[in-house]
Structure formats: structure tokens, C-alpha cells
Amino acid sequence: MNIEEQVELLMQGTEYGDEELKKAMAAELRQRLLDAEKEGRPLRVYCGFDPTSTDLHLGHTIPMRKLRQFQELGHDITFLIGSYTALVGDPSDKNKARPVLTEEQVAHNAQTYAEQAFRVLDQEKTKVRYNGEWLSELSLVDLIRLGQNFTVQQFLARDNFANRLEKNEPIYLHETFYALMQGYDAYALQTDVQVGGSDQLFNIIVAGRKLQEALGQKPLVGIVLGILPGTDGVQRMSKSTGNIVPINTGANDMFGKLMSIPDFVMGKYMRLATRWTPHEIEALEKDLESGRLHPRDAKMKLANEIVSIFYGESESKSAQDAFVKTFQQKEVPDEMPEYQLESGQTVLDVILAAKLAASKSEGRRLIDQKGVRLDGEVLERGDLPFPHPGVLQVGKRKFLRVK
């Protein structure tokens, strides 16, 4: 790719909330790429990940996808694990303080997080660092000196803090440390480019750039990405809202969940979660607009692309075939989990024992909504004994062979 094509690709999916800021970041990125080319060195690019959980969903991997783009263009990638920032808790996307994790929790989560990240990143070309390396060395005086570069008003102007202040909800002092710590990460890594979500705008564009400049470095270029909506197409992907696409539940499950997203968010998924170039996405959208491509077929292409990133081409093709067979042709899949029926078990007992519903209330709701079938026949009572062995279907995508 020439420089302009690189800029177009690397800025794909970015959101700054301000068009002038976006143009400024694109111009700075272009200049960094030109300078790096002249100097014969790669750009130093990083993204920080606080290991606050172990089960990643597609939304968590969006900045990893951007790091992979930089990686494939030959740049130096650091996957930074926030072993110290996770102890504080990032308040950027929260309307209340995050719970503070223990060092043991962070260490456990970090290992799992990194293992899952390498399903997107090239492990051999990725540096893994922990920000405890340098943050643990800062003294109280060092922290005070970092704080001298910011005003309290700057923090209170942030949306989440302003909203909490208006509602008379507490804002804890330690929450303001997070931006200072993340800004110091950029300085410690001598960063050219930092990648992060739009909820990190303040931490990247204000804290990171300002601290680098104050400490004698050239301010970084911030690649600030849009937030991936969940399967509802509206709210951000989040485990708490149940609208997630997990990356560890199998190709069939991922394919099915991606096929359930609304048509209107396909463009966002294309730009944030695929390997497609801006020109490939533009061509697809033109075909959609003209009617040459049916939205269902476009979504099938999208699901196939994303699933193949995590599970490979072969499993993605199998998942697509299973989806078509099960949902478009209304057939039962050839392969499914098996369950040995025990004496006296009710319909609800089997659903819960096989983990086809997370709770009794969810199981009852599925039954009440006529979403539970045995060999194609609707089961209307969960408290009755399980009728007979057969294929149990719960919801649209879950099948169980009861023996």
C-alpha cells in the first residue's frame, strides 16, 4: 500500500466526535508514516488492555483488529496489559466507580486475555508488556508532578463525571489517577501511535499527548475507534446487556449470532471487525444500495469473514452450511450435544441440566413463548415429566439429542 492507502485503512472505523480533530489525526498519521519511511523504522504502536474479565467478546477485539492492521503494514506492536491500571479501574465508560481488583485477579485474567488476543494478533510479532513495570516505580512526588499538567475542571468536564456530579453521585479521587497512569504508559513506551475506543478519547488525546509533550516527547497520534454495537444494534456490546458475540463458544454459535444483527449496523461491523479494505467495503455497500446484493447475503459474507478470523475458513464454511440447513431450510443439524435422561426429570430440569437456559426464570420464559420443542412439537409445560427421548430445540439455535 502507498501512504494514502495506509492512512485510509488505518483511519477506517475511527470516531472522534469532531471532524476537525479527525482530520488533524489523519494528517499527523500521514506525516508519521512518511517520517518513519524516511528513517527506515517502524512506528511504535500500542493499545492497553485492562484484564478485568476473562471471557472476551467481539467488542473487546476491535482494537486488536486495528493493531493487526498496523502489524501487517510492518509496524512495531505492543500489547500492553494494564496490570497496574486494572488495580485502579477505568472510569471512562462507567457511570459509577469500577470495583478494584486484587493483584491475583489481574494476573489470572491477564493470562487468559493474552491467549485469546493471539487469535487476532500475530503472536510472533507482538510484544507483550505489563504497565506495572514502570508505574510501580513512580513515587508520590512523581504522581504529583504528573498531576500538575491537568486541572480538576478538565476531569469534571468528561461526560461520565459530569453526569455523576449532576446526579450528586460520588466521584472518587483515585478515578482521576487513571488518565495520568495511561498517559504515562504512552511516555514509557515512547509511543508514536496509540489505539483505543472512543470511550478512551480523553485518556489518549488529552492525557497521553499532553504528558508526552510535557516530558519532552513528540505527542502521539490517537487512533480512536467507534464502539461496536451488540446484537441488538443499539447498545454497546456488553455482557451485562446480553447482546454479545462471544469468541470462545464455537463457530456455529458465533455465525448464528452475527446473522441476528440488524441490517443497519452491518456497515459498522464491516469497518470495525473485518479484514476488508475501505474499497472492498465501499463496493459491498454499493451493491447493497443498488439491490444487486440482498442484505441476507451481505450478512452471510460478513459473518463468514468474522468467523473465519477466529476459527479458520473451514470451520466458518461449516458454520455457514449448518446455519443455512438449520434456519433457512428449517432442518435439524446433523451434529448436536447429547444428554442422558434421568428418571423423574421434568422438561425444565433437562433444560437447566443441559445448560440450555441460564436460570429457571429464563427456561420458563422460553417455554411460555413456545420456544421449546421436542421433535418439532411445542412443549407447553416445564413442570411435567420429560415426554420421551428425541431432539429438544430451545430457542432458535440450541439443539440437544435427549437419549
- What is residue 252's three-state secondary structure? helix
Q: Are residues 30 and 113 in the same domain?
A: yes
**Domain stop point among 192, 227, 262:** 227
Distance CA 327, CA 28 (A): 48
87 in a structural domain: yes
386 in a structural domain: yes
By residue range, what is the domain housing residue 63?
A: 3-227
Distance CA 110, CA 105 (A): 8
Supply the pLDDT for residue 100: 62
333 in a structural domain: no
Supply the pLDDT for residue 49: 87
Of 47-61, 66-80, 387-401, where does the model show the most confidence? 66-80
DSSP single-letter state for residue 14: B
Q: Are residues 67 and 121 in the same domain?
A: yes
Mean pLDDT of 343-352: 93
Supply the pLDDT for residue 165: 86
| Nearest by Cα to 304 from 251, 347, 231 | 251
The lowest-confidence range among 51-60, 166-175, 236-245, 250-259 is: 51-60
Supply the pLDDT for residue 339: 92
240 in a structural domain: no
Supply the pLDDT for residue 240: 76
Q: Are residues 178 and 71 in the same domain?
A: yes
Distance CA 207, CA 149 (A): 9
DSSP single-letter state for residue 44: E
Q: What residue type is assigned to position 314 of the chain?
A: S
Q: Are residues 209 and 104 in the same domain?
A: yes
Supply the pLDDT for residue 63: 94
Q: Are residues 267 and 382 in the same domain?
A: no
Q: What residue type is assigned to position 115 of the chain?
A: E
Supply the pLDDT for residue 328: 61
Mean pLDDT of 275-293: 93
Start-to-end CA distance of the chain, whole Å, equals 57
In this structure, is the dihedral angle defined by the CA atoms of residues 280, 282, 285 and 287, taken in order, positive or negative?
Answer: negative
78 in a structural domain: yes
- What cell was used for 347? 422438561
**Domain stop point among 308, 328, 348:** 328
Average pLDDT, rounded, for the chain: 89
Mean pLDDT of 342-353: 93
CATH number for the domain harbouring residue 396: 3.10.290.10
CATH number for the domain harbouring residue 135: 3.40.50.620
Supply the pLDDT for residue 330: 64
In this structure, is the dihedral angle defined by the CA atoms of residues 197, 75, 12 and 323, taken in order, positive or negative?
Answer: negative
Q: Binning pLDDT at 50, 70 and 90, where does residue 199 land?
A: confident
246 in a structural domain: no
DSSP result, 320-364: HHHHIIIIIS----S---EE-PPTT-BHHHHHHHTTSSSSHHHHH
pLDDT beyond 70 at 337: yes
Q: Are residues 349 and 292 in the same domain?
A: no
Q: Are residues 358 and 321 in the same domain?
A: no
Q: Which helix (H) or strand (E) holds 88?
A: helix 85-88
DSSP result, 258-278: HHTS-GGGHHHHHHHHS---H
Q: How many domains are there within the chain? A: 3
CATH number for the domain harbouring residue 291: 1.10.240.10
| Nearest by Cα to 90 from 188, 187, 228, 207 | 207
Supply the pLDDT for residue 193: 97
Q: Binning pLDDT at 50, 70 and 90, where does residue 105 land?
A: confident
Q: Are residues 292 and 153 in the same domain?
A: no
DSSP result, 143-202: HHHHHTT--HHHHHTSHHHHHHHHTT----HHHHHHHHHHHHHHHHTT-SEEEEEGGGHI
Q: Which helix (H) or strand (E) holds 374?
A: strand 372-374
- What cell was used for 35? 517520517
Q: Binning pLDDT at 50, 70 and 90, where does residue 191 land?
A: very high
Q: Binning pLDDT at 50, 70 and 90, where does residue 388 land?
A: confident
- What is residue 403's three-state secondary structure? coil
335 versus 209: which is more confidently predicted? 209
Q: What is the pLDDT of residues 112-163, one digit of tens each?
A: 777 888 889 999 999 999 999 999 999 999 999 999 998 888 888 877 788 8
Region of 6 please: left (phi>0), alpha (psi -120 to 50) or beta: alpha
Q: Are residues 202 and 283 in the same domain?
A: no
Give percent of the chain with pLDDT exceeding 70.
95
102 in a structural domain: yes
Q: Are residues 150 and 286 in the same domain?
A: no
Cα–Cα–Cα angle for 100, 101, 106, rounded to 5 degrees? 145
Supply the pLDDT for residue 175: 80
The lowest-confidence range among 38-47, 64-73, 210-219, 288-297 is: 288-297
Q: Are residues 45 and 192 in the same domain?
A: yes
Q: Kind of pairing, strands 193-197 and 44-49? A: parallel
**Domain stop point among 298, 328, 358:** 328
Q: Is the distance from CB of 156 to CB of 169 less than 8 angstroms?
A: no
pLDDT beyond 60 at 376: yes
Q: Are residues 179 and 76 in the same domain?
A: yes
The lowest-confidence range among 87-91, 95-99, 189-193, 244-248 is: 95-99
234 in a structural domain: no
Mean pLDDT of 302-330: 88
Q: Binning pLDDT at 50, 70 and 90, where does residue 95 land?
A: very low
Distance CA 342, CA 339 (A): 9
| Nearest by Cα to 33 from 63, 74, 67, 62 | 74
